[in-house]
C-alpha cells in the first residue's frame, strides 16, 4: 500500500523506511532536511507545521507512519518544543484522516508516563509499568506525547481512522546502542527514570510494519520495549537500589524488563527479537 512516513530522516525513520521498502510498500517520505532516500520513493522536504506540505504529503496515502517530531526535551524553550510537537501531530493526523487514510501508526513515548524526563526524583506507582499507569508528567516533552495520544483518539472519533500509538523507550542499534549500554553500566542510577527500558531500532521498525498490517480497529496506545533491561544488574537489584518500596505485581526474574508489553503482544502479535548485547567492561 501507499504509506507516508514523516520524520523519515530520523533514526527510527531510516530503519522504518528500509523495513517498509522490503515489504513492498509504496512510500512518500518527508523530513525538514534533505536526506538519501531509496529509489522509487516520493520525497517532500519541509516543515510539518506547513499545512500545504502536509496536505500534499497525505494525498493518496492509504496509511501514515508519523515519526516527525522533536525527539527529546533538550530545548531552551520548552513551550516552543511542546507547541511544535502538538501542532505537527494534529496537522498530520487530522489531514490524514480527512484525506481518507485508513491506518495511522504514531510514535509516542514512554515519556508520556512522566518518568523519563522528570525534573524531580520520581518512582513509578508499581511495576511492571503498563499502559494504565497514572500520568506523572511534569516536562513539556512528555506532555506533548500525551497530547499526541489524545489527538489520535480525537482523530479516530472524527474520521474513523484506525490508529496505533507506540510508546517507545530509548531506541538504538550498533554503536548508538553500545554507547548507551556503556553509560548505563557505568552509572545505572542516571537512568532510573527511564526504568532501564530500551528497544533495538530494528525491532522498532518491525513493530511499525506489524502495526500497519494488523487487523485492529479503534485507537490503541501500546508499550513497546525489549524483554530485558539495559543494565547488567538484575532487575531486583535495580529496584532495591533506585526505586525501593515500589510494589511489583509479578515476579521479576533475572534482567527482565520493567515495562509491561503484553498488550502489544496480544493486539499486534509482536514481541521484540533482539536482546541486550554484552559490552566491554561488564
How confident is the model over 79-122, as pLDDT tens digits? 999 999 999 999 999 999 999 999 999 999 999 999 999 999 99
Give the Cα separation of 121 and 266 in Å (integer).
Answer: 33
How much of the chain exceeds pLDDT 70, in percent? 99
Write the DSSP assignment of 108-141 as a string of letters: EEGGGGS-TT-SS----SSBSB-TTSPP---SHH
Residue 99: its pLDDT value, please? Answer: 97
Q: In this structure, what C-alpha cell is assigned to residue 73? A: 526535551
Residue 263: its pLDDT value, please? Answer: 98
**Three-class SS state of 5:** strand
Position 140 pLDDT exceeds 70: yes
What is the value of pTM for the model shown? 0.96
Name the nearest CA neighbour of 205 among 18, 10, 3, 58: 18
Residue 73: its pLDDT value, please? Answer: 84
Position 37 pLDDT exceeds 80: yes
| 248 vs 71, more confident | 248
pLDDT digits (tens, 9 = 90+) for 54-69: 999 999 999 999 999 9
Residue 76: its pLDDT value, please? Answer: 87
pLDDT tier for residue 71 given thresholds of 50, 70 and 90: confident
Position 134 pLDDT exceeds 90: yes
Q: Where are the domains of the chain?
A: 2-268
Helices (H) and strands (E) in the chain, counts: 8, 9
pLDDT tier for residue 282 given thresholds of 50, 70 and 90: low
pLDDT tier for residue 222 given thresholds of 50, 70 and 90: very high
Residue 281: its pLDDT value, please? Answer: 59
Give the Cα separation of 165 and 153 in Å (integer).
Answer: 10
Residue 193: its pLDDT value, please? Answer: 97
Mean pLDDT of 212-230: 97
The H-or-E segment that residue 162 falls in is: strand 162-168
Position 172 pLDDT exceeds 80: yes
Q: Write down the mean pLDDT value for the chain.
A: 96
Mean pLDDT of 176-181: 96
Position 242 pLDDT exceeds 80: yes
Mean pLDDT of 212-225: 97
CATH superfamily placement of domain 2-268: NAD(P)-binding Rossmann-like Domain (3.40.50.720)
Mean pLDDT of 42-48: 97
pLDDT digits (tens, 9 = 90+) for 143-159: 999 999 999 999 999 99
Residue partners of 138: CB distance under 8 A and separation at least 6? 114, 118, 119, 120, 122
Amino acid at each position: 500500500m501507499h504509506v507516508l512516513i514523516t520524520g523519515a530522516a530520523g533514526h527510527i525513520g531510516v530503519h522504518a523506511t528500509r523495513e517498509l521498502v522490503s515489504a513492498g510498500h509504496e512510500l512518500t517520505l518527508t523530513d525538514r532536511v534533505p536526506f538519501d532516500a531509496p529509489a522509487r520513493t516520493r520525497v517532500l522536504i519541509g516543515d510539518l507545521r506547513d499545512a500545504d506540505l502536509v496536505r500534499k504529503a497525505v494525498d493518496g496515502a492509504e496509511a501514515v507512519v508519523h515519526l516527525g517530531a522533536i525527539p527529546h526535551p533538550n530545548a531552551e524553550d520548552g513551550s516552543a518544543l511542546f507547541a511544535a510537537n502538538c501542532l505537527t501531530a494534529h496537522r498530520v493526523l487530522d489531514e490524514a484522516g480527512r484525506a481518507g487514510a485508513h491506518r495511522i501508526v504514531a510514535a509516542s513515548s514512554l515519556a508520556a508516563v512522566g518518568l523519563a524526563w522528570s525534573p524531580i526524583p520520581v518512582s513509578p506507582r508499581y511495576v511492571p509499568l503498563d499502559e494504565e499507569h497514572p500520568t506523572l508528567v511534569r516536562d513539556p516533552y512528555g506532555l506533548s506525547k500525551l497530547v499526541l495520544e489524545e489527538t489520535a483518539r480525537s482523530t479516530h472519533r472524527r474520521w474513523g481512522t484506525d490508529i496505533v500509538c507506540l510508546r517507545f523507550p530509548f531506541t538504538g542499534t550498533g554503536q548508538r546502542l553500545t554507547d548507551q549500554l556503556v553509560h548505563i553500566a557505568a552509572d545505572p542510577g542516571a537512568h532510573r527514570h527511564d526504568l532501564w527500558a530500551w528497544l533495538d531500532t530494528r525491532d522498532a521498525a518491525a513493530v511499525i510494519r506489524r502495526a500497519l498490517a494488523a487487523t485492529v480497529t479503534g485507537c490503541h496506545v501500546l508499550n513497546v520495549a525489549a524483554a530485558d533491561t539495559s543494565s547488567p544488574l538484575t532487575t531486583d537489584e535495580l529496584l532495591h537500589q533506585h526505586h525501593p518500596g515500589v510494589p511489583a505485581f509479578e515476579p521479576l526474574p533475572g534482567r527482565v524488563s520493567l515495562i509491561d508489553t503484553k498488550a502489544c503482544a496480544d493486539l499486534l502479535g509482536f514481541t521484540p527479537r533482539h536482546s541486550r548485547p554484552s559490552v566491554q567492561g561488564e
